[in-house]
Chains A and B, each alone.
Chain A
Amino acid sequence: MNLADPLLKALDSRRCQGLDYVELRAEEISQMAIDARETGLEVVSNRGEVGHSARVLDNGSWGFAVSNRMTDVPGTVVEASKASSVLTVASPTDMSVLADMRPVKKRFTTRAVTPLDDVRAEDKTDFLKTLCSHISASDPRITTCKASYRDFTGTRVTVTSEGTAVESEVSMLYLMTSVSARDSGALASARDEIGIAAGGWEHFEKKDTVEVIGDRLIRRIRQQLEGVPCKPGTYPCVLAPRVVGMLAHEALGHLSEADFFSSGAFSGSEGKKVAPEFVTMVDSPRLANGFGNIQVDDEGVIPRKVFLIRDGLLEDQMTNREWATRLGRKPTGNARAESYRVPPIIRMRNTYFEPGEMSLDELFEGKKFGYLCLDVRGGQAEANSSFQVGIQECFEIRDGEVSRPVRDLAISGIAVKSLALIDGLGKDFGFESSYCGKMGQSSPTSDGGPHMSLKKGAIVFGGAG
């Protein structure tokens, strides 16, 4: 039986009659998980999961229910309907209303050259074991290396009472490799993340090979071991694309999600200048090899690129259908759900600064002392636009030149102030891929941009010292 059939049948049943809006989502996903170390395989796991959820909007209130019994979709609709009935809407402005959209009926496929299901488990484990061995053998100071691989294949379906019926083929992969080292009692660790939203095993054959991933990590761990402590304070700096991406994500990205925007620090700044005129920042559903790529969002909306900052002016926000109504705009296709178990919420996809016109030499010019931050270790945003980003690869800048490596540190700032202190954007472009957490859900995203120069006062540096 097709995964969509029980959903479509339930939509036709009397359970759905009289409800303002019903959205049914189902998934059938297989996950292959392998954890390898230099000593051998630790986890070889196969996970099969099927389930569905119903989201009901009735009298302006949302109800949501989840079940893994595909034989009882109408029962789940009843549960969701009951849930919505316990809420009361005090005023018409509090009512949830969905923006209009033309129903979408389409099957979305992926273009995997080497489909993940066609690759033998033994070939996947060999790749990971070779990767760990390659890294471990590279430096006697390395104590452990772990490669955690996950791939997800299957189907996701969304049908709605408005006539939308979309089916998406899933072929996603994620690899996190982490390495630890010890030298004369000093401990160090570094990690590397790779995420492909829609693709196959060819990624590891052509782009991120054992040597490419291994060499990245070996370089990072050596820099950690040999690095000097960070000098706490604020300095002029150059941020590389992966860090610029995290800045885009944490400094403005989260606060440009419409549900966060109204209570955030940029509220009231629409149309106003928040950065120099050469700065443009977007959230896009498409980026070559982006982990945040989507062809349709989880409300069935065909997604579009959103200009969050255009030419220095704060322009648009990311929305779902409900928030599009509140703002009087068209939905942007940012409603994403981690799985059928949770309702879609407003999430970023691929968030990045557009490249500028400066060369790397120009970005470093005039910096007597500062920092070059190359790679990240997660981050977090706050309503008042405070951002914090962990940095796992960093160098001092002395007299405009890259100098000594720096150990683990974190950078922070207040975005309202920091964005105005950007003083240069490179011509290049790059991004990082990872999972972003919001309201208990994690979502694959990519974040990037060109090299960026910032004046003293924009970024505060702090480390263990």
Chain B
Amino acid sequence: MAADMSQKSIVQDTVSEARKAARSLKCKEYEIFCNAVRERSVLIERDRVVSASSLKDFGIFVRAVTDGRMGMAFTNTFDSKHVRMCVASALKMSGVGDKDRNWQGFPSSKRSYRPVGGVFDKRVSSMTLSELRSSADVMIGSARSAGSVSVTGGEVEAIHKVIAISNSSGIEALMEETILSADCISVSGTGNAVTPECMDAAASHSKNLDFELLGESSGRVARLCARAANPRTERCKVLFSPLSLGSSESGLLNIVLSRALSGEYFVRKNSFLADKVGKEVAGSALSLTDDPTIPGRAGSRPFDDEGLPCKKTALVKDGVLKGFLWNSYFGAIAGEDSTGNGTRDYSTGNLSIAPMTLVVERGRGDLDSLVQQIDRGYLVWGCQGAHTANVETGDFSFVASPGLKIERGEIVGGVSGALVSGNIMDLLGGVEMVGSDQKDFGSSLMPSMVFRDVRITTG
């Protein structure tokens, strides 16, 4: 995957072509978002790498506005004819749309975006499939090193992406980034004595991903789960791993707070945090920002999907809610400036709001030292069913899977079927300790956290 200029030039040429088409079709208000992706990956099953893949992808989204009515279109064919057809299609769709009284035009930027260091690593863009396979082999070997563990799944993936945005209000933005990510899934035991899938995952813009550590972590949890402990119905302290809070697919805080802190949910009155700015929403141990400006972090980037500069936004400081995240559209409705959190739906081209990187400020102690401080409780390594949480009310109910029982500061074994339920406001109100072990998932930078008085229900 050579870091070739052609990928960048294709994107730049296509944007230029689309601009020309928009002008010739007399489209006064438009936005063009173009991306090109090269991706290489290897897939793990049954303790080995079973397939290798490479992908070249391209796409152009056009949003066109006629008299306050917006239409959107997409094509993945980048010749002049198709690009022009895509612009024409967006214009046609705008004729179907309703006039939006809140529409104030595509954003312009008073300040240009600043480059963020460490978002592109040539070593990642040039990684070969053989290198990815070797990295996966290291991860598998590390997970299995202490025996009694099988690696049932996982992936190592290297992505090189170019994004360009141009709009009729003068936004011009171009970025190039690389992402190296990996996950490792281990189990211990067989048949009806098998443990849940014990996953660990990490992402980075650079080549500095520790595959050995990732494998070791996944394998270690599987081994700890192999010894069965009996959960009981009770209220007690629960230690959440970074993965269980911060993963974009199954991290409880990431899933619920991404919506609850969105200005769109605020404007629509669908956020349980809507009337709580300036009030305590969590224990004082919790401080939360959205910060995509930290050099080298996997979620860092110079501008959002509208081309507006990204910035650090305070969300919760010492337990007190400071504000919400905004794109230009909902910000204008609420009288707020964009925080640079415009996020594109890659299916429709529509703009919504999401955190770039949710950062929970680090506290003291790693996961092991937090375990030592718990007399009786549980460690939730993964949240099975976190995606079924009600993001508007904050109610959640998931299975701690993997879940481990803690007694007198030690993990005594894995538990099956322990249902953890409550409301996110009550959970955050009971935050007792925040670890120093921030883990980078791209969409979040999350440490371990201990919450008190959490309800556990068993069969």
Write the residues of chain A forming the contact surface with B, with a CB cutoff of 8 angstroms: 31, 33, 35, 40-51, 61-69, 79-80, 82-84, 86-87, 90, 94, 96, 121-122, 125, 143-144, 150, 180, 182, 187-189, 232-234, 259, 262-269, 341, 343, 377-380, 382-386, 388-390, 407-410, 412-414, 416-417, 439, 457-465
A–B pairs, 15, beta carbons within 8 Å = A51-B76, A62-B52, A65-B53, A90-B48, A143-B270, A188-B393, A265-B191, A378-B387, A380-B385, A383-B195, A384-B416, A413-B417, A413-B459, A414-B459, A462-B421
Complex interface: chain B residues within 8 A of A379 (CB): 385, 388
Determine if B5 is an interface residue (Cβ-Cβ < 8 Å): no
Write the residues of chain B forming the contact surface with A, with a CB cutoff of 8 angstroms: 42-43, 45-46, 48-58, 70-77, 82, 85-86, 89-90, 92-94, 96-100, 128-130, 133, 150, 152-153, 187, 190-192, 194-197, 233, 268-270, 272, 347-350, 384-385, 387-390, 392-399, 401, 416-417, 419-423, 455, 457-459
Among residues of A, the one whose C-beta sits closest to the C-beta of B395 is A464
Report whether B419 and A269 are in contact in the complex, using a CB–CB cutoff of 8 Å: no
Report whether A384 and B195 are in contact in the complex, using a CB–CB cutoff of 8 Å: yes
Report whether B191 and A269 are in contact in the complex, using a CB–CB cutoff of 8 Å: yes
A79 to B76, CA, bound (A): 20
A86 to B137, CA, bound (A): 13
Report whether B192 and A385 are in contact in the complex, using a CB–CB cutoff of 8 Å: yes
Q: Interface majority SS on B: helix, strand, loop or mixed?
A: mixed
A46 to B441, CA, bound (A): 32
Complex interface: chain A residues within 8 A of B459 (CB): 234, 413-414, 417, 457-460
Q: Which of A266, A384, A407, A413 has the largest number of chain B CB atoms within 10 A? A: A384
Given contacts A44-B96, A187-B272, A341-B55, contact A232 B457 (CB under 8 A): yes
Report whether A388 and B385 are in contact in the complex, using a CB–CB cutoff of 8 Å: yes
Report whether B152 and A383 are in contact in the complex, using a CB–CB cutoff of 8 Å: yes
A233 to B459, CA, bound (A): 6
Report whether A187 and B270 are in contact in the complex, using a CB–CB cutoff of 8 Å: yes
Min CB gap B94→A, angstroms = 8
Report whether A265 and B194 are in contact in the complex, using a CB–CB cutoff of 8 Å: yes
Given contacts A464-B396, A465-B422, contact A46 B350 (CB under 8 A): no
Min CB gap B448→A, angstroms = 22
Complex interface: chain A residues within 8 A of B197 (CB): 382-383
Report whether B392 and A180 are in contact in the complex, using a CB–CB cutoff of 8 Å: yes
Given contacts A47-B74, A86-B133, contact A463 B190 (CB under 8 A): no
Of the candidates A90, A263, A407, which one forms a contact with B150 in the assembled complex, judged by CB atoms under 8 Å apart?
A263
Report whether B98 and A41 are in contact in the complex, using a CB–CB cutoff of 8 Å: yes
Report whether A64 and B73 are in contact in the complex, using a CB–CB cutoff of 8 Å: no
Complex interface: chain B residues within 8 A of A460 (CB): 417, 419, 457-459
Report whether B56 and A463 are in contact in the complex, using a CB–CB cutoff of 8 Å: no
Q: Give 8 closest A-B pairs by Cβ, nearest first.
A: A390-B388, A388-B385, A410-B397, A40-B98, A45-B72, A464-B395, A62-B51, A462-B421
Complex interface: chain A residues within 8 A of B150 (CB): 263
Report whether B53 and A64 are in contact in the complex, using a CB–CB cutoff of 8 Å: yes
Q: Which of A385, A460, A463, A464 has the largest number of chain B CB atoms within 10 A? A: A464
Report whether B270 and A49 are in contact in the complex, using a CB–CB cutoff of 8 Å: no
Complex interface: chain A residues within 8 A of B384 (CB): 380, 382, 386, 388, 412
A323 to B384, CA, bound (A): 27
Complex interface: chain B residues within 8 A of A416 (CB): 192
Given contacts A412-B385, A439-B153, A462-B457, contact A50 B77 (CB under 8 A): yes
Report whether B385 and A389 are in contact in the complex, using a CB–CB cutoff of 8 Å: yes
Min CB gap B113→A, angstroms = 26
Among residues of A, the one whose C-beta sits closest to the C-beta of B388 is A390
Complex interface: chain B residues within 8 A of A458 (CB): 459
Among residues of A, the one whose C-beta sits closest to the C-beta of B157 is A440
Report whether A144 and B86 are in contact in the complex, using a CB–CB cutoff of 8 Å: no
Min CB gap B457→A, angstroms = 4
Report whether B187 and A383 are in contact in the complex, using a CB–CB cutoff of 8 Å: yes
A94 to B194, CA, bound (A): 22
Min CB gap A362→B, angstroms = 25
Other A-B contacts than A187-B270, A233-B233, A408-B390, 19 sampled, CB-CB below 8 A, are A33-B72, A44-B71, A46-B93, A48-B75, A67-B55, A83-B52, A94-B46, A121-B93, A122-B96, A143-B269, A144-B270, A180-B392, A233-B457, A379-B385, A386-B416, A412-B384, A458-B459, A464-B421, A465-B455
Report whether A44 and B457 are in contact in the complex, using a CB–CB cutoff of 8 Å: no
Report whether A382 and B401 are in contact in the complex, using a CB–CB cutoff of 8 Å: yes
Report whether B73 and A47 are in contact in the complex, using a CB–CB cutoff of 8 Å: yes
Complex interface: chain B residues within 8 A of A87 (CB): 42, 49-52, 133
A384 to B270, CA, bound (A): 36
Among residues of A, the one whose C-beta sits closest to the C-beta of B150 is A263
Min CB gap B375→A, angstroms = 23
Complex interface: chain A residues within 8 A of B76 (CB): 48-51, 68
A343 to B97, CA, bound (A): 36
Of the candidates B51, B93, B187, B398, which one forms a contact with A263 in the assembled complex, judged by CB atoms under 8 Å apart?
B187
Report whether B233 and A232 are in contact in the complex, using a CB–CB cutoff of 8 Å: yes
Report whether B348 and A33 are in contact in the complex, using a CB–CB cutoff of 8 Å: yes
Min CB gap B409→A, angstroms = 26
Complex interface: chain A residues within 8 A of B401 (CB): 382, 384, 386, 388
A13 to B98, CA, bound (A): 51
Complex interface: chain A residues within 8 A of B98 (CB): 40-41
Report whether B393 and A464 are in contact in the complex, using a CB–CB cutoff of 8 Å: yes
Report whether B71 and A45 are in contact in the complex, using a CB–CB cutoff of 8 Å: yes
A35 to B72, CA, bound (A): 12
Given contacts A384-B416, A388-B388, contact A68 B58 (CB under 8 A): yes
Given contacts A63-B53, A267-B191, A464-B393, contact A125 B73 (CB under 8 A): no
A343 to B197, CA, bound (A): 23
